[in-house]
Structure 1
């Protein structure tokens, strides 16, 4: 199982008052309705005020690397990428909890 974790940080001047931010959030929340490879999906706004905090995060579970790769190129995911690109920067971590992952090179 692979956990796909993405944390978004708004660009300067962007807040949740921006309708584009609300639209990007809605796109992300709806991914499981459009992308069958998602096993589980959790999204949410940050609730802490800390310098290191990001504004929004998604955590998706995928059966394997192939499922995650299909998700990455899916048109609905690409729609979300476009929406978030104009509003934020983000960091991604894909955690593979299989024993084989210990021997594999990170996928790029």
Structure 2
């Protein structure tokens, strides 16, 4: 199994209350159910206000590296990434467990 973690930081001046951000969060909430390779999916806004904290997180899992590649290339995933690219940056970690 592979764990796929993503942490998002909203760009300077962007608020999670903005319609495009709310739409992006909703799109990620729905994404796990749209990609058959995803075996586990959760995402949520961070509540921590520490200076090093990121704003939004995804914790997901797929069966193997091939499944991770299919997920990354899936049109639904690519569409959500394009939304978030407009207002956030992110870091990822993928590891086998």
Above 0.5 in TM-score? yes
Task: Give the equivalent residue in structure 1 for 2:7.
Answer: 7
1:77 lines up with 2:77 in the alignment: yes
Question: 5+ residue gaps in structure 1?
Answer: 98-108
Task: Give the equivalent residue in structure 1 for 2:43.
Answer: 43
1:94 lines up with 2:88 in the alignment: no
- State the distance in 1 between where 2:17 and 2:47 align: 16
Aligned residues: 97
- State the distance in 2 between where 1:17 and 1:27 align: 15
Choose 1 or 2 for highest CA Rg. Answer: 1
> Deviating runs (4+, > 3 A) in structure 1?
none
Deviations 1:24-62 (A, max 9, x none): 101111012210000010100001101110000001110
Question: 5+ residue gaps in structure 2?
Answer: none
What CA RMSD, in Å, does the superposition of the two structures yield over aligned residues? 0.7
- State the distance in 1 between where 2:47 and 2:95 align: 23
State the TM-score, normalized to the length of structure 1: 0.87
